[in-house]
Structure 1
Amino acid sequence: MDNAEMIAQLRAIAARVDALSDRARQLAAENRSLRVQQEQLSSDRAQLVAKNEQARSRVEAMIARLKSLEQHT
């Protein structure tokens, strides 16, 4: 193998390393974005669960009041 072939191989390897490095940066950025999105979705879900529980409590209270009114009539 002569120097020209070695230089060509080294350049090819360097190009692959650069491409892999770029891809790793892209994946890291995507991972960060997905983590932020996941945190937001978890927060949204927690808020929805709390609202659902509040609504359930209100409905149960209304049912109890209706039953109470029904018994008094």
Structure 2
Amino acid sequence: MTWDIRGGNVSQSGLFQRLSCANLARLRRLTLTVSLASRCNDMAELLEQHAEAHSRFARIARNRGVGMREALRA
């Protein structure tokens, strides 16, 4: 069994002879899309956590009658 993804050649007992460059390009795009979607999801979660933290500090600042910097020091 031989797999040469870079060159596009795939052979396995004569069943596969060549994987076309177009199929490789589609596979690479799909892999990149899944990777980017995962990273975007991670970023969205981080932004949500940041917004929640910002809301907490803003609430603390309002309750104490201080600015955000003073609330962050607490």
Query: One fold, TM greater than 0.5?
Result: yes
Which band: TM-score by shorter chain? 0.5 to 0.7
Higher relative contact order (CA 8 A, sep 6+): 2
The 2-side partners of 1:31 and 1:49 are apart by 26
Larger gyration radius, structure 1 or structure 2: 1
The structure whose residues are more often strand, as a share, is 2
Gaps of 5+ in 1: 1-14, 65-73
Gaps of 5+ in 2: 1-17, 67-74
Moved over 3 A (4+): none
The structure whose residues are more often helix, as a share, is 1
Aligned-residue Cα RMSD (Å) equals 1.7
The residue aligned with 1:41 is: 43
Kindly tell me the number of residue pairs found equivalent between the two proteins.
49
